[in-house]
Amino acid sequence: KKNCLIIGAGGVAQVVAHKCAQNNDVLGDLHIASRTVSKCDEIIASVHEKSAMKVDGVFKAHALDATDTAAVAALIRETGCEIVINVGSPFVNMSVLEACIETGAAYMDTAIHEEQDKICETPPWYGNYEWKRRDACKYANVTAILGVGFDPGVVNAYARLAADEYLDSVESIDIVDINAGSHGKWFSTNFDPEINFREFTGTVYSWQNGAWQSNKMFEVGHEYDLPVVGKQKAYMTGHDEVHSLSNRYPEADVRFWMGFGDHYINVFTVLKNLGLLSEQPVKTAEGQEVIPLKVVKAVLPDPSSLAPDYTGKTCIGDFVKGTKDGKPAEVFIYNISDHKDAYNEVGSQGISYTAGVPPVAAAMLIANGTWDVGEMANVEDLDPKPFLGLLNEIGLPTRIKDADGDRALTF
Ligand code: NDP
């Protein structure tokens, strides 16, 4: 057993907390820390109400500013936690990683580090922050698993599985993320609007023909015909996993595609063109200074409020093309999740569910030694089978569609 510290108390943390509790026979004492301790208390209450702990044990809330490395390290020591699941905002990654290196605790997150005032950085994004501490992790024998949500995360494992088991050479990896669900609001983002919009205001980087290519958001679109969710329009989007998969598979084109409806694109375009998505302060006629993006966030629905009425399904997966036995071959490895099922199980919508279950599987694999590699790794650097096998059992089953048909995968 290894005690576990969850950092953050948002939508993803709620799922992580429930899944940790359902598996605390492997994970031991559980702790959750965020700036606002009342949010941690609410999550613990929801766990006791919906999931219960698998075995009797500790689940405690703590107030923490996770940008303060010394405070994070002190909490890790005080709670005896050997695993830290960082699902706070991406602004806290580096300070939490530093605390793990200092204390020897295993680290994981689900997104690349970001700085508040930098909108779009030069690729590969991991190279600007996390990978700079690779040697420090190795020297301290610290396991740090980067980007272990769904995308990035599970989709990285799908790419590795396709390359290892289904193809002899890989020519392209196209990750497709479709949310065919409906939240019933006129407009809302599915997670923090600040993070969500930042993802789409910068340059769209993809890795093609052995080099970084730049496009604008909504410039390149493609209609996919997918299992369960059907025909869906997706747009090439900048995303974390392109920045690590291109490092491991430099000979392959690596692209990320996200589904958007026309309504989302219209609203986004209006907000952006008016300057309302800017993080630069502006002065009102009355002399008040406001940050437009913060105002937009304040008037939009709180993403966590969407969960009770969310219906429909998500389909996220990898089209991986290459050759097998000298012939062209293609596989689509994917997962289907249902918003209502997620709500019934853990009180969250499907997007938080798909992001929150994988880090718990990773924590369980660290606790039992399978993924406790004592160094920094992206998900595709690790054996995907134990991870995907565990995900089959705890809520995110893997399927494959290829020349042999459409079927569930077991490991
Ligand atoms: P939320 O905005 O709902 O929650 C973020 C949490 O981080 C909040 O509880 C907030 O605290 C906390 N936080 C922010 N700053 C600090 C700080 N300085 N100290 C302590 N706590 C802090 O985000 P989500 O739950 O939606 O997302 C969490 C992470 O997961 C993000 O990094 C996001 O990018 C990532 N993600 C990854 C996905 C994937 O598939 N890989 C998919 C979706 C999200 P408080 O509320 O107490 O102020």
17 lines ligand 1 (CB under 6 A): no
Atom 7, ligand 1: which residue's CA is nearest? 88
Print burial letters for 62-86: b (CB count within 10 Å at least 16), e (below 16): bebebeebebbbebbeebebbbbbb
- The residue ranges of DSSP E strands in 279-312, in sequence order, are 282-283, 289-290
Give pLDDT tens digits for 42-75: 999 999 998 788 898 999 999 999 999 999 999 9
Closest atom of ligand 1 to 195 CA is 34
Percent of the chain past pLDDT 70, that is, above it, reads 100
The reported pLDDT for the residue numbered 119 is 65
- The residue ranges of DSSP E strands in 260-306, in sequence order, are 282-283, 289-290
Contact 259, 221 (CB under 8 A): no
Bridge-based pairing state of the strands 253-259 and 230-236 = antiparallel
The reported pLDDT for the residue numbered 136 is 98
For residue 368, the surrounding DSSP H or E stretch is none
pTM for the full predicted model:
0.96
The stretch 274-284 carries a mean pLDDT of 94
Residue 139's pLDDT band (cuts 50, 70, 90): very high
Distance of CA 372 to the CA centre of its chain: 20
42, 114, 191: residue to mutate for ligand 1 pocket, most atoms within 8 A of CB:
191
Short-list 102, 96, 113, 110, CA closest to 141? 102
Atom 9, ligand 1: which residue's CA is nearest? 9
Give pLDDT tens digits for 140-176: 999 999 999 999 999 999 999 999 999 999 999 999 9
Give pLDDT tens digits for 325-371: 999 999 999 999 999 999 999 999 999 999 999 999 999 999 999 99
Q: Give the DSSP per-residue string, 61-96.
A: EEE--TT-HHHHHHHHHHHT-SEEEE-S-GGGHHHH
Q: How far is the CA of 183 from the centre of ligand 1 (A)?
A: 20
150 lines ligand 1 (CB under 6 A): yes
Closest atom of ligand 1 to 147 CA is 41
Say if residue 268 is exposed, middle or buried (CB neighbours under 10 Å; 0-12, 13-18, 19+): buried
Short-list 296, 294, 303, 301, CA closest to 270? 296
d(CA 336, CA 349) in angstroms, rounded, equals: 13
Contact 96, 86 (CB under 8 A): yes
Percent of the chain past pLDDT 90, that is, above it, reads 92
The stretch 381-394 carries a mean pLDDT of 98
d(CA 92, CA 283) in angstroms, rounded, equals: 29
350 lines ligand 1 (CB under 6 A): no
- The residue ranges of DSSP E strands in 289-396, in sequence order, are 289-290, 313-324, 327-338, 376-378
Contact 354, 87 (CB under 8 A): no
Residue 118's pLDDT band (cuts 50, 70, 90): confident
d(CA 108, CA 387) in angstroms, rounded, equals: 14
Short-list 55, 41, 50, CA closest to 18? 50
Q: For residue 375, give both structure tokens.
A: 């160094």
Sign of CA dihedral 119, 239, 304, 273: positive
Query: Residue 236's beta-bridge partner residues?
Result: 257
The reported pLDDT for the residue numbered 121 is 82
Contact 10, 43 (CB under 8 A): no
| Number of other residues whose CB lies within 10 A of the CB of residue 308 | 12
Residue 319's pLDDT band (cuts 50, 70, 90): very high
Give pLDDT tens digits for 219-265: 999 999 999 999 999 999 999 999 999 999 999 999 999 999 999 99
Q: What is the mean pLDDT of the chain?
A: 96
36 lines ligand 1 (CB under 6 A): yes
For residue 344, the surrounding DSSP H or E stretch is helix 339-346
The reported pLDDT for the residue numbered 99 is 98
Q: How far is the CA of 10 from the centre of ligand 1 (A)?
A: 5
The reported pLDDT for the residue numbered 120 is 63
Atom 37, ligand 1: which residue's CA is nearest? 110
Contacts of 158 (CB under 8 A, 6+ apart): 317, 318, 320, 333, 334, 384, 388, 398
